[in-house]
């Protein structure tokens, strides 16, 4: 294997990429557009839950409870109703997501030291959001109840009240619980997997379709030299895409990068080698650009999006699916990026993911070289 022949193939492929301005622009613009689109559209934060209220009590106590909900960052008071019919229509139409009904005897029961019931209705069409909204409502009501108890005890003459349990929660790694902080790193991994495989899936297939493969076969260039020479230009583009994605994550989405930039780009290099070798392997075996691009898209986007832990926790998946996720390389890169971005961990903590990612890259690169034969059939 000679470096001069590799350099010649690399130069040829670079010239082709530079002459095809649309493909070059797409390779750079598409990841950025998808990062912006998914970065702003995908969110697991549940804020400003639209709330309707039917206050049958109309007392100071009921108004204080409503004010507790309205003052919370999680609820947005939209409507007041005086009957179940109109309130039900508002929930059915999606105008509000939740409704609270305060009974007539609310204040009397509180003043009498008895339990007061409040009905909280939530639209369960989106079960995840509904569950979170119920948790928010329970927290607001619990705080309101504690304040009532403290006020009652203070009116009885006690100056100092010691609560039996003092919980002081502390969140590590994502203190503000912003879903964007863990979505963006995972999104970078998914996008790089798709774009890298898609770019290289067209290289060998293009040569076959345009009839230029015969000329390459007749040259002294060996199979490994051809594969490496064709990978280098797209590897450079992919690494540039990673740089742009990291810069956007920092300056556009304000995602903190607590780990080492060198470790991040080192893992990106290993991941890109594997993903691009996979695209090259698809291109070698299909010899058709349309078919190669379709296979590359299906085999990268869906597994990376669904089975990498990017959006859905792998621990909550069925056991069989959890086993399948070990064959998805984006799983390891997603885990690495989240660890680097949010936890600031390095090689000692993420050694297992690093080894598996390196094995994937080595296997895909070897398969691509072995699969290519300098034959016209």
- Polymer length of the chain: 377
Instruction: Categorize the per-residue pLDDT at 166 as very low, low, confident or very high, splitting at 50, 70 and 90.
Output: low
> Does the pLDDT value for residue 158 go beyond 70?
no
* Percent of the chain surpassing pLDDT 70: 96
Q: Where are the beta strands (DSSP E) in 113-217?
A: 119-122
Q: Per-residue b/e over 98-136, b at no fewer than 16 CB within 10 Å?
A: bbbbbbeebbeebeeeeebeeebbbbeeeeebbebbeeb
Give the bridge partners for 102, in sequence order: 55
Q: What is the pLDDT of residues 343-356, one digit of tens each?
A: 999 888 999 999 99
pLDDT, average across residues 308-332: 90
Q: How far apart are the first and last CA of the chain?
A: 24
> Sorting pLDDT into bands at 50, 70 and 90, what band is 241?
very high
Tell me: the pLDDT tens digits for 77-126?
Answer: 998 998 888 998 999 988 999 999 999 999 888 888 788 889 999 998 88
Statement: residue 208 has pLDDT above 90? no
Please state the separation of Cα 346 from the chain's center in Å: 21
Which residues lie below 8 Å from residue 311, measured CB to CB, with a gap of 6+? 42, 183, 186, 305
Predicted local distance difference test score (pLDDT) of residue 162: 62
pLDDT band at 68 (very low <50, low <70, confident <90, very high): very high
Nearest CA to 342 out of 184, 191, 190, 192 is that of: 184
Domains of the chain are 3-43+178-371 (no CATH), 49-155 (3.40.1710.10)
pLDDT of residue 157 exceeding 70, the answer is no
Give the tokens for residue 138: 């329970």
pLDDT at 318 over 60: yes
d(CA 153, CA 160): 10
């Amino acid at each position: 294997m000679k470096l001069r022949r590799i350099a010649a193939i690399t130069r040829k492929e670079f010239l082709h990429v530079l002459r095809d301005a649309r493909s070059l622009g797409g390779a750079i613009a598409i990841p950025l557009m998808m990062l912006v689109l998914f970065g702003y559209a995908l969110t697991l934060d549940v804020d400003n839950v639209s709330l309707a209220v039917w206050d049958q009590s109309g007392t100071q106590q009921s108004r204080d409870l409503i004010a507790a909900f309205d003052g919370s960052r999680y609820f947005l008071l939209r409507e007041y109703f005086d009957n179940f019919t109109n309130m039900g229509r508002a929930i059915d139409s999606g105008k509000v997501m939740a409704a609270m009904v305060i009974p007539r005897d609310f204040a009397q029961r509180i003043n009498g030291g008895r339990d007061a019931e409040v009905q909280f209705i939530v639209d369960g069409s989106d079960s995840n959001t509904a569950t979170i909204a119920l948790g928010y409502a329970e927290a607001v009501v619990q705080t309101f109840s504690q304040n009532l108890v403290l006020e009652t005890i203070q009116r009885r003459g006690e100056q100092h009240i010691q609560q039996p349990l003092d919980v002081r929660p502390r969140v590590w790694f994502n203190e503000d619980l912003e879903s964007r902080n863990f979505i963006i790193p995972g999104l970078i991994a998914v996008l790089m997997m798709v774009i890298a495989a898609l770019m290289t899936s067209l290289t060998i297939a293009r040569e076959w379709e345009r009839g230029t493969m015969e000329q390459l076969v007749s040259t002294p260039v060996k199979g490994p030299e051809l594969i490496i020479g064709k990978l280098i230009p797209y590897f450079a583009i992919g690494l540039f895409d990673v740089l742009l994605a990291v810069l956007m994550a920092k300056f556009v989405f304000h995602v903190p990068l607590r780990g080492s930039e060198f470790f991040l780009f080192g893992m990106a290099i290993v991941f890109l080698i594997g993903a691009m070798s996979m695209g090259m392997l698809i291109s070698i075996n299909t010899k058709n650009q349309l078919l190669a691009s379709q296979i590359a898209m299906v085999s990268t986007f869906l597994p990376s999006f669904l089975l990498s832990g990017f959006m859905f926790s792998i621990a909550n998946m069925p056991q069989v699916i959890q086993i399948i996720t070990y064959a998805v390389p984006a799983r390891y890169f997603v885990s690495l990026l989240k660890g680097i971005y949010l936890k600031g961990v390095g090689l000692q903590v993420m050694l297992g993911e690093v080894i598996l990612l390196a094995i994937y890259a080595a296997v895909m690169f070897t398969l691509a070289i072995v699969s290519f034969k300098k034959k016209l059939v």
